[in-house]
């Protein structure tokens, strides 16, 4: 019995000594070994590690990426509109020594620093732009500026800022309807302007098309006149050549063509009996 008690006492003392001499770091943590409040060792590898009892203490640090939902804040834009911004920051512990020295290794203290710096930069950058710009696709550019500015400042506290994002941006209820009406009026003005520009372009296109049509018709008439003139000239040359070869036959042929045109319908022609126009008909009747 005495031996059993001694064994139990030894096991208890060994367990206490083991706990005093060792500590465990898991995969989600970093650890800083402090001696009288000063950091003597930073442990980033998970596993079992040793320390000096009563002289050294261990501070554990979160090694995972942390999503911090920042409290909503009011921001005034360049056109004096008040926005309630609900945003969040993604961060992690960077330099363990700086982090412990500046925040004591406490997450609440670190997130307080993030609150102050991110809010200040977000307010300053958004205040330089109008509401329409903030709610447009440009917002991602502004948030990138906030992230870069805040990242430089938070690095002095051992904090690595990964990103800053806006969950939602709401207008106060009392001015939301007024802003909505103004935005709708602006959109209507832009729509009317676009319609007017479209109508002007349509008139210009129609005018150009009419002008092109007139030019094409004028060119066509010019070509037709030219072709007609060339045809008439060729016909006159043919007539002249025929006339030169046999004037009597040419006169006879032209007279017959005249008869075909003049007597093609039920037309009554009154001529004197000695008219030269009838000489070929008279000769045909005499035969």
| CA 137 from centre of chain | 8
Tokens 């019995």 belong to 1
Query: C-alpha angle with apex 101: 16 to 122, nearest 5 degrees?
Result: 130
CA neighbor of 162 nearest in space, from 239, 67, 274, 278: 67
| CA 14 from centre of chain | 68
Angle formed by the axes of helices 247-262 and 173-245, to 10°? 130
Q: Give the predicted TM-score (pTM) of the model.
A: 0.52
Report yes or no: 101 and 53 within 8 Å, Cβ to Cβ. no
Burial class (CB in 10 A: 0-12, 13-18, 19+), 28: exposed
What is the percent of the chain with per-residue pLDDT over 70, rounded to a whole number?
71
pLDDT digits (tens, 9 = 90+) for 19-75: 566 677 787 777 777 777 777 777 777 767 666 777 777 777 777 888 888 777 777
Partners of 82 in beta bridges: 76
Task: Enumerate the domain spans of the chain.
Answer: 2-61, 66-171
pLDDT digits (tens, 9 = 90+) for 119-174: 888 888 888 887 777 777 777 888 888 889 998 989 888 888 988 888 776 666 65
pLDDT on residue 248:
65
| CA 192 from centre of chain | 23
Cα distances (Å, whole numbers) of residue 276 to 199, 243, 250, 263? 70, 19, 15, 16
Pairwise CA distance, residues 159 & 151, whole Å: 8
The CATH number given to 66-171 is 3.30.479.30
């Amino acid at each position: 019995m005495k031996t059993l008690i001694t064994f139990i006492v030894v096991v208890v003392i060994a367990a206490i000594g083991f706990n005093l001499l060792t500590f465990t770091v898991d995969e989600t943590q970093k650890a800083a070994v402090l001696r009288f409040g000063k950091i003597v060792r930073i442990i980033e590898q998970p596993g079992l590690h040793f320390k000096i009892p009563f002289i050294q203490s261990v501070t554990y640090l979160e090694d995972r990426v942390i999503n911090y939902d920042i409290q909503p804040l009011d921001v005034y834009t360049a056109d004096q509109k008040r926005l309630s911004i609900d945003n969040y920051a993604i961060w992690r512990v960077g330099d363990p020594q700086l982090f412990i020295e500046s925040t004591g290794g406490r997450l609440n203290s670190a997130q307080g620093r993030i609150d102050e710096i991110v809010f200040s930069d977000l307010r300053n950058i958004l205040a330089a732009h109008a509401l329409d710009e903030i709610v447009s696709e440009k917002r991602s550019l502004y948030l990138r500026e906030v992230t870069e500015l805040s990242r430089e400042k938070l690095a002095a506290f051992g904090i690595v800022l990964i990103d800053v994002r806006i969950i939602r941006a709401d207008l106060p209820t009392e001015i939301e309807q007024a802003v909505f009406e103004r935005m709708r009026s602006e959109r209507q003005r832009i729509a009317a302007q676009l319609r007017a520009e479209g109508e002007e372009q349509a008139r210009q296109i129609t005018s150009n098309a009419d002008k092109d049509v007139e030019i094409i018709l004028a060119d066509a008439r010019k070509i037709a006149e030219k072709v007609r003139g060339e045809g008439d000239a060729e016909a006159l040359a043919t007539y002249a050549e025929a006339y030169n070869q046999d004037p009597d036959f040419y006169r006879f042929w032209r007279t017959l063509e005249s008869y075909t045109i003049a007597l093609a319908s039920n037309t009554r022609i009154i001529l004197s009996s000695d008219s030269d126009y009838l000489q070929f008909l008279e000769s045909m009747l005499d035969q």
